[in-house]
A and B are shown apart, each in its own frame.
Chain A
Amino acid sequence: MRLLLLGNEAIAYGALASGLAVATAYPGTPSTEIVETLVEFRDRFVHWASNEKSAFELAYGAAVAGARSLTAMKHVGLNVAADPLHSAAYTGVEGGFVIVTADDPWMHSSQNEQDTRWYGVQAYVPVLEPSDPAEAYKYVKLAFDLSEKLRHPVILRSVTRVSHVRAPVEVEPPAPPKWGRFTRDVKRFNLVPANARELRKALVEKWEKIAELSADFITVEGSGDVFIVTTGVAYNYVKEALSRLRVDATVVKLGMSVPVPRSLRNLVGGEAVVVEEGDPVVEVQLRSLGVATRGKLDGYFPRYGELDTGKTALGLSKALGLPYSPPQPPKPPIEPPPRPPSLCPGCPHMATFYILRLATAGLSPVWSGDIGCYSLGINLGQQDLITHMGSSVGLGAGIAVAGKHFVVATVGDSTFYHAVLPQLVDVASRSIPLLIVVMDNAYTAMTGGQPSPSRAIPVEKITEALGLPTFVIDPVEVKKSVEVVKKAVEIVKSGRPAVVVSRRPCALVAVRKARRAGLQLPRYQVDPDRCTGCGLCYNLLKCSAIYRRPDGKAYVDPALCVGCGVCAEVCPFNAFKPEGRREAWLELWQQA
């Protein structure tokens, strides 16, 4: 069957064809669709975990017991799972264990660039690197076989332009899941120093064997004395750049980029141009083998951002001393005004931010933010720091300890379970004064709406158990909520922590459900006679369905409004008028 598949879907289908039994992940762009695709297959154990470490451990444990298992995450997610990753290399596994990481060069949806392949080097875990969706499909199968043969974990490194590229892929039907059974081996699975020391020696020996196997993944194309070593998505740019430069070269493509095959040294005759996406990981390894390289280390190719055919052609021309003039991009007739990502119309976070602003008026709080849709609160001036999952409470508590700031830590429910739980223990046990606001929209919304544990385990049950005073609000009730939040603010002002849970499901999910149920949403419109152009709605609430007309008055785009009615609560002049009724809609929304 030839299908037009996303790289991530191809990885999922490849895993199914390999007899996958257990798949786990925490969603994160650009890796999400791998497990999203697998969720449909009910004859396997597929799970959205609370974070990557938990996901990793579930899959690792299953593989230790002999099942074929996969865990998927984005590059920064592997940091969270780095601890068990390093142990997994010591113990090895019994069933095939594939760790898929999707790197995000140029940070389309991430807080930093990171090259997962360093983890391969550091943890002694081999890295396979597919160049496109069809190869991703093939490589997952190879990865399972290799992992089982070596009884060792294998990383499959993808990047945005493999994971989120659609291409034709030939797909076979799923194979039955391969489950397992744990066999006791105390010396192998108990990493106490006496055992770990033996395993460390064995690991270093194994690594040399893997480095030899790495040669099985080399493909050589073309001819000529010029050697270009490439891997992953970069291979595609090399192919197109070479035909543009009209130069004969031998292209050596590495399917396994960590560890590089030792035989490469003889193959390329001691000199090569290296083209790779991310950091100079292959290049550094080649230099350590004594191969003279030209690549990122000398600045022929940029060390930030993504490659493309143009950058590759330019880099090759410089490295090889060839003439080349890159295409000149034309200038637009008008400079396009920015269209920054914004909260969806009717997003409950929009109202929550507004409520927080009113309830903390005069305190000039430090807004300690986190990763998720609400990071877009940056457009509202209500996110002063956002650094990683859990930074809201973690850094926020540090800032509160450091000085006399009033700190508001805003975190979503999914991130709360992902990274904030242990931090709460510290905040509660030392009674660190900060206002923790959990924006509970019941989903991991930014990645498309995966389920969050908040339905099964209400946030307030946990915070109350820790002895933290907790208040629950519904953000569409703006005025009422402001009064409640003020109580929490008073507690924090008195030197103790407090928690507000702002609960209303993701508007996008709710709108989808309403459409399916055939429910007509109410819509709000501005009465231009009443609107004074004060700007509260478009400057402070900033609903993305509300525009400022050239005369300063507000205007609602009827195609975008989802009828949350928050604007009507916010406008001091009663200018917003609903068409249709709101009760049934709010009711259905709350159940979404």
Chain B
Amino acid sequence: MATSIVVVGVGGQGVLTLARWIGEASLSEGYDVRIAEVHGMSQRGGSVEVHVRFGKVVYAPIVEEGGADYVVALEAVEALRAFRYLKPGGVLVVNKRVIQPPGRWISEEELLGSLQRSGVKTYIVPAADVARELGSVMYENAVMLGFLSQLLGLPMPPSLDDRNREAFRRGARLPV
């Protein structure tokens, strides 16, 4: 059986890169893998959604609604949007970061609180904070990847540069 992951966030956050890293790590473990990217209308600021599936043999490139083992959100509003992909017993992994959608201001507490009370197993990961400690919010996807490696049992992908390696390690040490 394949593991199905939906990775979401906002354009410019490195959603595609995170998904690609998960794919690379799976490949290095000898799994078959499919990563379905959608290159949408805008380069920055819109919702981005990438599907990753890995396992012994994988056919379908996309995850259906109600079919994801994991939803990984680099941004909390997008976690709400991808919620519908979760299968019963599926796990939500959210970066502790809110990028306000245009014309609305949602408080972080309200948002994260509602996710935690939703009845779905939810991990809130302080990836943005850790990344800022490392010098730039640019590293938040690598921190998330490190955290995920604990859940997915995947190694560090080979292509990371030094800064991202460090970010990965910090994520991999965050308590689960």
Q: Are A344 and B40 in contact (CB under 8 A)?
A: no
Q: Which of B96-111 contact A (CB under 8 A)?
A: 99-106, 110-111
Q: Count contacts on B: residues with CB < 8 A to the other chain.
A: 58
Q: Are A341 and B106 in contact (CB under 8 A)?
A: no
Q: Are A166 and B67 in contact (CB under 8 A)?
A: no
Q: Are B115 and A333 in contact (CB under 8 A)?
A: yes
The verdict on B83 contacting chain A, using a C-beta distance below 8 Å, is yes
Inter-chain CA distance A332–B62, complex, in Å, is: 20
Inter-chain CA distance A433–B28, complex, in Å, is: 62
Which chain A residues lie closer than 8 Å to B46 at the CB level?
339-342
Chain B interfacial positions (CB closer than 8 Å to A): 10-12, 20, 23-24, 27, 32-47, 59-67, 77-78, 80-81, 83-88, 99-106, 110-111, 114-115, 117-118, 120, 137
Q: Count contacts on A: residues with CB < 8 A to the other chain.
A: 64
Q: Which of A61-69, A307-315, A397-405, A421-429 contacts B (4 or more CB under 8 A)?
A: A307-315
Can you name the residue of chain B whose Cβ is closest to the Cβ of A549? B105
The verdict on A167 contacting chain B, using a C-beta distance below 8 Å, is yes
Which chain B residues lie closer than 8 Å to A291 at the CB level?
none
Which chain A residues lie closer than 8 Å to B45 at the CB level?
339, 341-342, 344-345, 544, 560
Q: Are A166 and B23 in contact (CB under 8 A)?
A: yes
Can you name the residue of chain B whose Cβ is closest to the Cβ of A338? B101
Give the secondary structure class of A's interface. loop
Q: Which of A73-124 contact B (CB under 8 A)?
A: 108-109
Inter-chain CA distance A334–B118, complex, in Å, is: 10
User: Given B12, B60, B101, B115, which contacts A308 in the complex, CB threshold below 8 Å?
Assistant: B60
Which chain A residues lie closer than 8 Å to B104 at the CB level?
337
Q: Which of A157-165, A481-489, A583-591 contacts B (4 or more CB under 8 A)?
A: A157-165
Total cross-chain contacts (CB, 8 A) = 181
Q: Are B120 and A165 in contact (CB under 8 A)?
A: no
The verdict on A554 contacting chain B, using a C-beta distance below 8 Å, is no
The verdict on A236 contacting chain B, using a C-beta distance below 8 Å, is yes
Most B CB within 10 A of own CB, among A331, A337, A446, A559: A337
Q: Are A310 and B38 in contact (CB under 8 A)?
A: no
Inter-chain CA distance A493–B24, complex, in Å, is: 60
Which chain B residues lie closer than 8 Å to A335 at the CB level?
80
- Residue pairs across A and B with Cβ atoms less than 8 A apart, 20 shown, are A4-B20, A4-B27, A108-B39, A109-B39, A164-B36, A167-B34, A235-B59, A237-B59, A239-B59, A240-B59, A306-B62, A326-B66, A328-B66, A329-B85, A343-B42, A344-B45, A373-B42, A508-B44, A547-B100, A560-B12
The verdict on A445 contacting chain B, using a C-beta distance below 8 Å, is yes
Q: Are B62 and A161 in contact (CB under 8 A)?
A: yes
Inter-chain CA distance A334–B35, complex, in Å, is: 28
Which chain A residues lie closer than 8 Å to B106 at the CB level?
334, 337
Can you name the residue of chain A whose Cβ is closest to the Cβ of B20? A166
Q: Are B66 and A167 in contact (CB under 8 A)?
A: no
Which chain A residues lie closer than 8 Å to B60 at the CB level?
236-237, 239-240, 308-309
Minimum C-beta distance from B130 to chain A (A)? 16
Which chain A residues lie closer than 8 Å to B101 at the CB level?
336-339
Which chain A residues lie closer than 8 Å to B80 at the CB level?
332-336
Which chain A residues lie closer than 8 Å to B11 at the CB level?
341
| Chain A window 209-223, contacts with chain B (Cβ cutoff 8 Å), 1 for yes, 0 for no | 000000000000000
Which chain B residues lie closer than 8 Å to A332 at the CB level?
80-81, 83-84, 118
Which chain B residues lie closer than 8 Å to A336 at the CB level?
77-78, 80-81, 83, 101
Q: Are A310 and B40 in contact (CB under 8 A)?
A: no
Q: Are A376 and B43 in contact (CB under 8 A)?
A: no
Q: Are B117 and A333 in contact (CB under 8 A)?
A: yes
Most B CB within 10 A of own CB, among A6, A240, A330: A330
Q: Are B43 and A445 in contact (CB under 8 A)?
A: yes
Please judge, given known A-B contacts A164-B38, A330-B84, A340-B102, whether A233 and B61 are in contact too, CB under 8 Å. yes
Inter-chain CA distance A30–B88, complex, in Å, is: 33
Inter-chain CA distance A132–B53, complex, in Å, is: 14
Which chain B residues lie closer than 8 Å to A375 at the CB level?
41
The verdict on A168 contacting chain B, using a C-beta distance below 8 Å, is yes
Q: Are B102 and A310 in contact (CB under 8 A)?
A: no
Task: Report the 3 A-B pairs with minimum CB-CB distance, sorted nearest first.
Answer: A327-B66, A341-B42, A332-B83
